Chain A
Amino acid sequence: MSATTEQPPPRIDRLDGDALERPVPAAGDAPAAAPPKAPRRAARSMYQKHAKVYPKAVHGTFRRIKWAALAVLLAIYYVLPWVRWDRGPNAPDQAVLLDLANRRFYLFFVELWPQQIYYLTGALILAALGLFLATSLAGRVWCGYACPQTVWTDLYVWVERLVEGDRGERIRLDQGPWTARKAGRKVLKNLIWLLIAVATGGAWIFYFTDAPTLLGEMLRFEVSSTALGFIGLFTATTYLLAGFAREQVCTYMCPWPRFQSAMIDEDSLIVTYQDWRGEGRSLLRKSQSWEERKAEGLGDCIDCFNCVQVCPAGIDIRDGLQMQCIGCGLCIDACDEIMTKVGRPTGLITFDTQTNQVAVATGGQPVPFRLLRPRTILYTLMMLVIAGGIGVGLLLKPGLDISVLRDRAPLFVALSDGSVRNAYTFKISNMTRDPRAYTLAVSGVAGASLSVAGDGQDEQAGTQRLTADPDMVATYRIFVTAPRTGLQGASQPLTFRLTSADGEVATYDSVFMGPAN
């Protein structure tokens, strides 16, 4: 977007009645006759007053998509904890359950143990790449449609509009004196906001414990203080962030707008204002025909400020792409409506690539949207690789995992008959719902035999029987003894091989230490 080179004349937002704060023109532009104002610098406050944004209702394609996204996302959020998933008799039947107390994550058919948390890392990388891909294709669609901050803010603004009326009414209400009606409206609005906030906070904790049980406890007022604390926390943040902070979250708290420009390029779909078609903007006089306007050097923008008034971030898209822009496209809906009314082609503000905009502006052929670009291909490939890795990992996810820790002190024990023994702490994670029996064998050291501390079994050449309770980690102390003649050097590889009764195998490579000679 090329910024307008001339200083725009100070503009007035007519509906607001108050002048938007505009930068003082550069010193050279100030008319000499104007009375010298006090230097702006001295009057400058330490803080910037929050200019409250009053988004106006708008209808159109993008608004409809936004409503659909809101409905679908909220439905997912509230319904997901109630979806059941049969995992057998001794496991929870909640499809999505983050059981922190018992340190298990249940996600439909997936059941994660703490040591498998790398799947979460994979999911986060996948989400980040998805965000990059979506942004490189269509700008900040995440921010405009799917981000929780956007969804809940949208919901809150909708409530606000229901209770206090649309933009003009809300502004008048806020600027007017305190009356019983105004107080009533404000109380009602905040009550509904708080209700939504409580429902949001309440739904959140359903993800961490069995939802029907928790709901029963809630209804009987038996909720734990921890649960209450989290409901309170999420209620407060929902109420404050969606009710009051709104676009301030996106502008000041969120890091994403700060580096989104690294993700978009001239081939990304972004919300753009066709300044070559719109400028110079000026009000449409009734008597004026479009041909006369053209002749006067005026553009299609009739300076109606509808695009500014509907913007949830409170910006003027005609100033070009800005950090605050969340790419929701509501300004497009607003402008299209006006353009239709005045009989001009729509798309003065449009969702388009910069390449195409430049081409159209300079009278060239329209450039079709390039879906395949190096960066989109790269992001897609990376996502496929990671998603494939996660998928294969989940499909092959074992019900058995072993970990072996060799004793460091002493490194080895020499026995009276000259043989050498090493001790290992041996952990079996039985990730199934049944008690299981296993056979342990070692290989790699000639003549090695195994014994288990504390179980009273005799040393056996080669194998040992072990057991593990369902969904538990069993810990054994294992001794491996080998004749000195079988050793090759001070350290040699030793492989543990654990086989379950139903044939699942886990191996672990360790070492066997002995004297140097």
Chain B
Amino acid sequence: MAQKEKDALSGVETTGHEWDGLRELNNPLPKWWLYIFYVCIAWSLVYYVLYPAWPLGKSYTKGLLGYSQREELVQKVADGKKAQEKYLTAIAATSVEDIQKNKDLLAFAMAGGRSYFNENCAACHGAGGQGAKGFPTLADDVWLWGGTTADIYKTIQHGIRADDGDTRGTVGIGMTAFGKDGILNRDQIGQVAEYVLSLNKRSTDAAAAEKGKTVYDENCAACHGENAQGSLAVGMDVGAPPLVTANWLYGGDKATLVQTITNGRAGVMPAWSKRLDDATIKSLAVYVHNLGGGK
């Protein structure tokens, strides 16, 4: 706009913009307003000098105050750790059963256990312990190696069939591979699979199931129990699951049963005592116990 326009009434210049006949007056700013603006500019300059401000390629200006957000974070984490220490020492000094009885410790162990679980366990057992094929659900009531807090604690410490002096099961050895090792033939495997299905009222071949009972009694009952109630129920610590159940670690359909009987199963869980400290494992045991399946 070449010619500045003046508003006839007020004698003030307009900005030259017009919206639907309305023109904005180019009134000056109040002095204090302008001064605050200048103070802000001065403030920013001071800030540049005092605080880290400018990137310099791979580095940056450090500022005279030597302030660092990273250090502040490190300090905060250290403060947080220090605040937790009281509870962590108490947890380390308390037996895993007694933690449950102390309201404060229980709350702390539950909160800590949740984050440890998500960090270390959720990859296999799922967030919240929902499990996956071959990885037990930790929120249900089936525990091959015992579901008390002490049992869970021991399992986390030493793992299952892991290379640990005090581990459970034998390293590398689980359920016998009845087919692969030539102990049972194809027919017998089919019959015992039908028998297991019949225990769960899902058998389609009554005659085969009848024959399968003999096979079961001779080969399977030693570990899984006379009534297929699982090793824990008959007082054996070998991890043989109950076979009268709605929950199947690898699947309960006939094809999977045949596969399991033929090749055997040997699930492995690492021994966590090598990686996590005792207070962490105790917290985890308490957390897992309270996922709902604890006995």
Q: Which residues of A contact B (CB under 8 A)?
A: 23-27, 40-41, 44-50, 245, 248, 252, 407-410, 413-418, 421, 423, 453-454, 456, 477, 479
Chain B nearest Cβ from A418, distance in angstroms: 4
At the interface with chain A, which of B53-61, B71-79, B136-144, B159-167? B136-144
* Complex alpha-carbon distance, A421 and B4, angstroms: 79
Contact for A415 among B130, B141, B290, CB less than 8 A: B141
- Residues of B near A252 (CB, < 8 A) are 30, 33
- Residues of A near B130 (CB, < 8 A) are 409-410, 413
User: Is B30 a contact of A410 with CB atoms below 8 Å?
Assistant: no
Bitwise interface map of B from 138 to 154 toward A, beta carbon under 8 Å scored 1, else 0: 01111000000000000
Q: Which residue of B lies closest to A411 (CB)?
A: B130
Known contacts A44-B13, A407-B128, A413-B137; 4 further A-B pairs (Cβ under 8 A): A26-B6, A26-B11, A40-B11, A48-B27
- Residues of B near A27 (CB, < 8 A) are 6
User: Is B139 a contact of A413 with CB atoms below 8 Å?
Assistant: yes
- Residues of B near A409 (CB, < 8 A) are 126-128, 130
Known A26-B11, A46-B34, A410-B139: A416·B247 in contact at CB below 8 Å: yes
- Residues of A near B8 (CB, < 8 A) are 26
B43 contacts the other chain (CB 8 A): no
User: Is B126 a contact of A454 with CB atoms below 8 Å?
Assistant: no
* Complex alpha-carbon distance, A41 and B139, angstroms: 81
User: Is B246 a contact of A453 with CB atoms below 8 Å?
Assistant: no
User: Is B4 a contact of A248 with CB atoms below 8 Å?
Assistant: no
Q: Using a CB-CB cutoff of 8 Å, which residues 18-33 of chain B contact chain A?
A: 27-33
* Complex alpha-carbon distance, A45 and B291, angstroms: 73
User: Is B242 a contact of A48 with CB atoms below 8 Å?
Assistant: no
- Residues of B near A410 (CB, < 8 A) are 126, 128-131, 137, 139
User: Is B30 a contact of A423 with CB atoms below 8 Å?
Assistant: no
Chain B nearest Cβ from A95, distance in angstroms: 35
Interface residues on B, range: 35 or more
Contact for B246 among A48, A407, A415, CB less than 8 A: A415
Chain A nearest Cβ from B292, distance in angstroms: 5
User: Is A454 a contact of B106 with CB atoms below 8 Å?
Assistant: yes
* Complex alpha-carbon distance, A409 and B122, angstroms: 11
Contact for B31 among A49, A414, A454, CB less than 8 A: A49
B100 contacts the other chain (CB 8 A): yes
* Complex alpha-carbon distance, A23 and B7, angstroms: 10
Q: Which residue of A lies closest to B33 (CB)?
A: A252
Chain B nearest Cβ from A157, distance in angstroms: 19
Known A24-B11, A41-B4, A410-B130: A48·B31 in contact at CB below 8 Å: yes
* Complex alpha-carbon distance, A423 and B292, angstroms: 8
- Residues of A near B123 (CB, < 8 A) are none
B12 contacts the other chain (CB 8 A): yes
User: Is B30 a contact of A416 with CB atoms below 8 Å?
Assistant: no
Known A27-B6, A49-B31: A414·B11 in contact at CB below 8 Å: no
Interface residue SS majority, chain A: loop
Q: Which residue of A lies closest to B242 (CB)?
A: A416
Q: Which residues of B contact A (CB under 8 A)?
A: 4, 6, 8-13, 27-34, 100, 106, 126-131, 137, 139-142, 242, 245-247, 290-294
Cβ contacts A to B, 30 pairs, < 8 Å: A23-B9, A23-B10, A25-B11, A26-B8, A40-B11, A41-B4, A44-B28, A46-B28, A47-B29, A47-B34, A48-B27, A48-B28, A48-B30, A49-B31, A50-B32, A245-B32, A252-B33, A409-B126, A410-B139, A413-B130, A414-B247, A415-B246, A415-B247, A416-B245, A416-B246, A418-B246, A421-B139, A421-B140, A423-B139, A454-B290
Q: Which residue of A lies closest to B12 (CB)?
A: A23
- Residues of B near A416 (CB, < 8 A) are 140-142, 242, 245-247
- Residues of A near B129 (CB, < 8 A) are 410
User: Is B28 a contact of A47 with CB atoms below 8 Å?
Assistant: yes
Chain B nearest Cβ from A305, distance in angstroms: 21
* Complex alpha-carbon distance, A418 and B246, angstroms: 5
* Complex alpha-carbon distance, A165 and B11, angstroms: 36
Q: Which residue of A lies closest to B35 (CB)?
A: A47
User: Is B292 a contact of A479 with CB atoms below 8 Å?
Assistant: yes
* Complex alpha-carbon distance, A414 and B33, angstroms: 68
- Residues of A near B10 (CB, < 8 A) are 23
User: Is A47 a contact of B31 with CB atoms below 8 Å?
Assistant: yes
Chain A nearest Cβ from B228, distance in angstroms: 12
Chain A nearest Cβ from B111, distance in angstroms: 11
- Residues of B near A49 (CB, < 8 A) are 31
* Complex alpha-carbon distance, A26 and B10, angstroms: 8
- Residues of A near B141 (CB, < 8 A) are 415-416
- Residues of A near B242 (CB, < 8 A) are 416
Q: Which residue of A lies closest to B10 (CB)?
A: A23
Known A416-B141, A416-B142: A453·B31 in contact at CB below 8 Å: no
- Residues of B near A248 (CB, < 8 A) are 30, 32
User: Is A408 a contact of B128 with CB atoms below 8 Å?
Assistant: yes
Chain A nearest Cβ from B205, distance in angstroms: 23
- Residues of A near B29 (CB, < 8 A) are 46-48
- Residues of B near A418 (CB, < 8 A) are 246
Q: Which residue of B lies closest to A244 (CB)?
A: B32
- Nearest first, the 6 A-B pairs at minimum CB distance are A410-B130, A23-B11, A409-B128, A416-B245, A409-B127, A418-B246
- Residues of A near B126 (CB, < 8 A) are 409-410
- Residues of A near B11 (CB, < 8 A) are 23-26, 40
* Complex alpha-carbon distance, A50 and B32, angstroms: 8
- Residues of B near A454 (CB, < 8 A) are 100, 106, 290
* Complex alpha-carbon distance, A421 and B140, angstroms: 8
- Residues of B near A44 (CB, < 8 A) are 13, 28
* Complex alpha-carbon distance, A23 and B25, angstroms: 13
* Complex alpha-carbon distance, A163 and B293, angstroms: 80
- Residues of B near A408 (CB, < 8 A) are 128
- Residues of A near B290 (CB, < 8 A) are 453-454, 477
* Complex alpha-carbon distance, A454 and B100, angstroms: 6
Known A416-B247, A454-B290: A45·B139 in contact at CB below 8 Å: no
* Complex alpha-carbon distance, A44 and B4, angstroms: 14
